[in-house]
Chain A
Amino acid sequence: MSEEIELLEQTLDALFARHCGPAERTAAAQGLLPERLWARLVETGLTDLGAPDSGAGLPELVAVAMAVGRAAAPVPLAEASGLASWLLGATGLDPADGLLGCATTHPDDDLRLVGGEPAAPVVRGVLTRVPWGAAAGHVVALARSDRGPVVVLLPAATQVERGANLADEPRDTLRYADVTAVAAAPAPVDAAAVLRRGALLRAAATAGAAGRVLELALAYAGAREQFGRPIATFQAVQHHLVVMAEEVAAVDLAVRVAALAGPDTEALAVAAAKVAAGTAAAEVTRRGHQVFGAIGATIEHPLHHYSKRLWSWQDEFGTDRQWSGVIGRAAVGAGADALWPTVSAPLDPAPEAALR
């Protein structure tokens, strides 16, 4: 890992440690953006880290998402930096003020151009379960048009159906009835590329959150005594801890590898990372809660901040079952002789960072 990324991780961890308290969580649970925390993130340039002029690439954006997961931070930082500012930046459009939301290419999304000028088209349709959609000042989305997909920068929606995931993270459905876009440009990427990037960022956040649950569980099992000895001395508990460590290590590496993968391996690497995230979410929540016993299932205990996110994130940006289906379809289609070359494909081109 480069020193820059290590520094970025430390900065984020420190920032979240200071600004991620009960007040921020209460605000977020009501669908409000924790203002002070968000202002700090904007100030430090982290919210538009994905813009082309920032010099940051996927490894940096993945590090950001991991830090969000580690802190269970109630902010759409991974979406703003990794998706919104990236997608807008790739079109050369100017960033908007305030929170920039980003549509997720949800299967129920249906947004299309119905008129207007090419630079300010009129759009109609629905964007489903947009993270912090109601709080966003503007929303970036892909819209369909006769000339292919278009990136549109939309004003705040007037028709909003509020929703949330299990962790009270806002997931708002936005309706646009013939609304004129603030700006638009031909999309440099397709919906599949946006979905892939979102899946990788969720897998990264999962790695962060699952890793934190492991840390908490190791500390608790070492300290909590029953029958006169720490519960960590019981083999059955040790097995839970080891399997948790395995799945955390697997998703963590899968995500870092996917962030370095080139065009030939990206599809498999990202899909495998999201599948690994699903497995980690399932094993770490189940076994983590088992280690903590009843106290871990209470609202006072911090565990639920992580487990609710893990349960939600495993199905966002494509369920792990959908992603394993993508991998399986490709593998079956390519046939037996392609199986090993696929599994053993090198990252292309061999990234400098991966060879040290």
Chain B
Amino acid sequence: MSTRFRPTTLTGHELELREQVRRFVAEEFPAGEYLPGLGINAEASPEFSRKLARQGWLGMVVPAEYGGPGRTAVERFVVVEELLVAGAPISAHWVGDRQTAPALLKFGSEEQKRRFLPAIIGGEAWFCLGMSEPGSGSDLASVRTSAVRTDGGWVLNGQKIWTSGAHYADFVVTLCRTAPLDGVKHAGLSQLIVDLRSPGIEVRPIMMLNGFHHFNEVFFTDVFVPDEMVLGAVGDGWHQVTSELAYERSGPDRFLTSFPLLRIFLALRARRAVGAEAEHRIGRLVARYWVLRQMSLSVARSLDAGEVPAVEAALVKDMGTTFEQQVVDVVRELADAEQRPGGDLFDRLLAEATITTPTFTLRGGTNEVLRQVAAKSLLRGAGRAA
């Protein structure tokens, strides 16, 4: 076998944490009243994110020396999956919690850790990722936003696009070129933590096809970024962004996005779930949820063991996001009726799910490119085995 997913399950202590989260979620989102959000497309609610902070559920992996609870990747998995299943509004803290906190722990300076980690844990600072550019989508290493040396820091110029949450975030972690391109495009890139209130920054909204404001364009014109805001080593940006991918790719957010739709279908359209054909189709979905969750949990356990399950994480993301779309298709077919965006809870959620499905297999890199990356690793592994 060229990949390795080991069976695992939640321990007694992890199950206790889950019970706490379930009680919290049940109080926050009484069944039947709340229109669930769909994964990380859910609304941003700084107020809700701060409630989670008070529970100790933001920046969970941050150790005690930086004010965190020092929890594991699996414990974070436990909290995140319960929030996704409820359709909780998790967008405000999402990037800081999933991406920036682990990146700071791994690459950040002592000063950066002391400054930003407590803010992430406390729900006091929101982060976003300045990655894609108009000319750099899947081919991320081709970014042209550049920073040039100046006294005490860098002068940043360029443009980012598809920047989730830049309209409310405090900082944008920006991948940019800090050395001219000399043939090797993966060299000369760096990550800067840019204060979105700096002079020279303009944020423009991009409205999505559901009318939501989630993404933005961010323009940098001679923005000064002090030296102490360089994340990690100058020139090491490519290595840094790619090393975070196992965290980013395999989490429950990659297969649970449309779960609330199936749950509400069963609750409000029970008569459409009757009969052998419907049971067979629902059974296939439940079976897939079971297996994908075991795979995703297995990756989290590997991360806690200090492994880097990069290919495994890529496979989970490709399978999981494709499956999230299938769930919407199956539920729509079983519902077997015209869509009514202004109807009941189920109608509204199905409408929302239908028009957001295209993004499931795009965000964080298209599945096509992901497969190309995964294939290269599989082929390298096979070459070694031969």
Contacts and interface: CB of A to CB of B under 8 A. Distances in A.
Are A and B part of the same complex? yes
A339 interface: yes
Nearest to A247: B319
Interface in B115-164: none
A337 B383 CA distance: 48
User: Which size class do A's interface residues fall under?
Assistant: 35 or more
Given A245-B315, A246-B315, A328 B293 contact: no
Given A242-B315, A254-B294, A339-B263, A219 B280 contact: no
A347 interface: yes
Interface stretch (B2-10, B186-194, B223-231): B2-10
Nearest to A217: B382
A2 to B, nearest CB: 11
Interface string A330-344: 011001110110111
Task: State the main secondary structure of chain A at its contact with B.
Answer: helix
A276 B293 CA distance: 13
A215 B291 CA distance: 22
B371 A238 contact: yes
Given A246-B318, A328-B279, A222 B375 contact: no
A327 B287 contact: yes
Contacts of A238: 371-372, 375-376
Interface string B354-386: 000000000000001001101110110111011
A321 interface: yes
A105 B6 CA distance: 31
Interface residues of B, number: 61
Given A1-B6, A332-B274, A346-B9, A253 B1 contact: no
B173 interface: no
A48 interface: no
A350 B12 contact: yes
Contact of A249 (B5, B289, B372, B386): B5
Contacts, number: 179
A218 B311 CA distance: 15
Interface string B256-282: 000100111111001001101011111
B295 A324 contact: no
Given A245-B2, A340-B263, A276 B9 contact: no
A336 B266 contact: yes
A332 B273 contact: yes
Contacts of A339: 262-263, 266, 286
Contact of A219 (B1, B295, B382): B382
Per CB-CB distance, the 10 closest pairs between chain A and chain B, nearest first, are A328-B283, A328-B279, A238-B375, A324-B283, A327-B283, A336-B267, A218-B382, A336-B266, A347-B9, A272-B287
14 contacts: A235-B372, A241-B379, A242-B378, A253-B7, A323-B287, A324-B284, A328-B286, A329-B279, A332-B273, A336-B265, A336-B270, A339-B262, A339-B266, A350-B9
Interface of A: 1, 211, 214-215, 218-219, 221-222, 232, 235, 238-239, 241-243, 245-246, 248-250, 252-254, 256-257, 260, 268-269, 271-273, 275-276, 321, 323-329, 331-332, 335-337, 339-340, 342-344, 346-347, 350-351, 353-356
Interface of B: 1-3, 5-12, 15, 31, 81, 85, 259, 262-267, 270, 273-274, 276, 278-284, 286-295, 298, 312, 315, 318-319, 368, 371-372, 374-376, 378-379, 381-383, 385-386
